[in-house]
Amino acid sequence: MQDLDANDITDAVIAQMADTPDPRLREIMEAAVRHQHAFAREVKLTPEEWLKGIAFATAVGQACTPYRQEFILLSDILGLSRLVNAMHDATGREEVGTETSLLGPFFREQAPKIALGGTIAHVKSGPEIVLYGQVTDPAGKPVPDAQMDVWQTGADGLYDLQAHDPSVMDMRGQLRCDAEGRFHFRTVKPIGYPIPMDGPVGDLVTHQNRHGFRPAHIHVLISAPGYRELVTALYFGDDEHVDSDTVFGVSASLVVHDRLDLPDAPIPGLPSIRYDFTLSQESGSGGGRVGSDPSRLAPAG
Amino acid sequence: MQDLDANDITDAVIAQMADTPDPRLREIMEAAVRHQHAFAREVKLTPEEWLKGIAFATAVGQACTPYRQEFILLSDILGLSRLVNAMHDATGREEVGTETSLLGPFFREQAPKIALGGTIAHVKSGPEIVLYGQVTDPAGKPVPDAQMDVWQTGADGLYDLQAHDPSVMDMRGQLRCDAEGRFHFRTVKPIGYPIPMDGPVGDLVTHQNRHGFRPAHIHVLISAPGYRELVTALYFGDDEHVDSDTVFGVSASLVVHDRLDLPDAPIPGLPSIRYDFTLSQESGSGGGRVGSDPSRLAPAG
């Protein structure tokens, strides 16, 4: 007969999961139970608080739609996404590539293809800027023909997925770098924006007295055969929240400034940013994206 | 500029939550972040595994309906509900009352009222048994007029909420004990049953090679002015899973056997169970139910 108090319930649960055939699932679930129980014991979680937690998790799940992933947002504001990212960055690389940043909930597969020098601002307009640079390996050797996805808010602080008709793609594009790894494209300067504040995660952030803003940034995803997929973002140094990102995505090496005085700017007269990306060699473990197209996670209902 | 690696991200998140006005919310969220990050670091959670976790949590949330609470089920099979219950039992009581057990996801407010000696089997039939006894305080003094809610599966192993028309209440009732705290009612003998296996929590239990069964039991909730609300259940000792409950609800003191030889059985000729319940005095913190009517937690959609 199991007579379990608050101290031995943990071992009883782990014992009941001991026959899990997949050793990794067993390892993860055992650790999850140990840490979850340690949390509940540390704060002496009451039944009322437990019930609030159940209601919160339920609300987060029910806020997910094909165009919104509230659990990724929760992971982001709790720093879990950044932590998983940081651990992934530190593994399996022979040399150091460009630092990564969060994929976030707004990536979409099959963005419109644009030619080098084209613009990703198809619908919305605003002050134009140019992003250009070169993709190389850690030794500085050009990576030819890398594929680059870029996506960002418009000058209104909104992604296309947040527009009235989220099926229209805008402020995102897919381009192919040239044989020397060079790229350049036009866009409008994004502005910082709050995370979606109308759901349970926004409620939590409000109750925590956090501003809820991300600094202005441009997401970049680069892939090329033989190299680890790079998921990163460039952050604008003139944004007031560049030091207090609500989802902890900023690294110093990813902060940029648009300038008019760059001698090799490909489109003179427009504020420009030069950023050179470094891809690290593919390791055995393969690439991994912290985040995903929400339509691949939420049921279509 | 925040340049965060896997070790200092935790402090950065806690710093950003430091202005939370409600001190208890701050305490709980700080501990949640520390334990969650410690878990991710211990198992070296990969981006692919993180994404599977996001998809799992999303599926659990989306499985919740007005008649189903999948997050409570998840809490139950991970032993968290039992842990919160056990901590609650250990607080604020001057004397020891009857041990508690999980409320579970099938409690409903305003069950049909029945008279003493009546039956809670309104629709479904099966082998009849009688439950009777007395409600007292820890000194053995009768508690007059206590209100008692009871609910259980039928002999088919299903609750009314799992029936074709879940709006019909059956195998549950509300009765009032007499001035001496005595009660008796008729019901059918419940059988053990698996937790709902057609959702993400059932998938997890299957992948863990767990049988997924709860032993046969009758839920009991007793309240009386001045006493702590008692949420418990009586478990049948002849059930094969009485020692391996999937949700860790069984305690030795709650195991019962129906017998034909009880001299004070109020309805002779029917297998009967005598169980006397002891209510502890109300403490300042009030009662708390680990579990709740799912219709109070899930959006009505």
User: pLDDT digits over A74-97, tens only?
Assistant: 999 999 999 998 898 877 554 578
Q: pLDDT category, B289, cuts 50, 70, 90?
A: low
Q: Is the pLDDT of residue B72 over 70?
A: yes
**Chain centroid, CA A260 distance in Å:** 29
Name residue A206's amino acid.
T
Following CA atoms A60, A61, A62, A68 in sequence, which dihedral angle do they give, to the nearest 10 degrees? 80
Q: Which residue of A has its CA nearest to B34?
A: A39
The answer to whether B32 contacts A39, with C-beta atoms less than 8 Å apart, is: yes
Q: Which residue of B has its CA nearest to A17?
A: B208
Residues of B in contact with A43 (CB under 8 A): 27-28, 31
Section B18-36 average pLDDT: 98
Q: pLDDT category, B297, cuts 50, 70, 90?
A: very low
User: pLDDT digits over A209-262, tens only?
Assistant: 999 999 999 999 999 999 989 999 999 999 999 999 999 999 999 999 999 999
To test the contact with chain A by mutation, choose from B3, B8, B16 the residue with the greatest count of A C-beta atoms within 10 A, namely B16
User: pLDDT digits over B198-208, tens only?
Assistant: 999 999 999 99
Under 8 Å CB-to-CB from A83, ≥6 apart: which residues? Answer: B6, B9, B10, B37, B40, B41
Residue A105: the pLDDT is 77
Residue A32: the pLDDT is 98
User: pLDDT digits over B235-286, tens only?
Assistant: 999 999 999 999 999 999 999 999 999 999 999 999 999 999 999 887 655 4
Section B44-54 average pLDDT: 95
The answer to whether A41 contacts B3, with C-beta atoms less than 8 Å apart, is: no
Instruction: Specify the pTM.
Output: 0.85
Pick from B35, B252, B253: CB nearest A39: B35
Strand partners for A175:
A148
Element of type H or E holding A75? helix A70-77
Residue A188: the pLDDT is 96
Residues of A in contact with B69 (CB under 8 A): 54, 58
Asked if B230 and B221 count as a contact pair (C-beta separation under 8 A), the reply is: yes
Alpha-carbon distance A20 to B282, whole Å?
A: 43
Residue B66: the pLDDT is 85
- Tell me the nearest-neighbour CA distance from A240 into chain B, angstroms: 12
Size of interface A-B (CB pairs under 8 A): 281
Tokens 């705290």 label which residue? B181
ipTM of the complex: 0.85
The answer to whether B16 contacts A288, with C-beta atoms less than 8 Å apart, is: no
Alpha-carbon distance B299 to A64, whole Å?
A: 13
Alpha-carbon distance A196 to A68, whole Å?
A: 9
Q: pLDDT category, B290, cuts 50, 70, 90?
A: low
Q: Distance of CA A261 to CAs A236, A269, B253, Å?
A: 17, 9, 81
Element of type H or E holding B76? helix B70-77
Percent of chain B at pLDDT > 70 equals: 91
CB atoms < 10 A from the CB of B105, how many? 26
Task: Set out the domains of chain A in order of their start, with CATH numbers.
Answer: 97-284 (2.60.130.10)
Residue B162: the pLDDT is 82
User: pLDDT digits over B152-172, tens only?
Assistant: 999 888 898 887 788 889 999
Alpha-carbon distance A86 to B141, whole Å?
A: 62
Residue A115: the pLDDT is 96
Alpha-carbon distance B218 to B101, whole Å?
A: 11
Q: Measured in Å, how far apart are chain B's first and last C-alpha atoms?
A: 44
Q: Which residue of A has its CA nearest to B242?
A: A1
Q: Which residue of B has its CA nearest to A37?
A: B80
Residues of A in contact with B34 (CB under 8 A): 39
Q: Distance of CA A131 to CAs A112, A251, B40, B136, Å?
A: 17, 19, 35, 78
Q: Which pair of structure tokens corresponds to residue B175?
A: 């009765």
- Tell me the nearest-neighbour CA distance from B151 into chain A, angstroms: 21
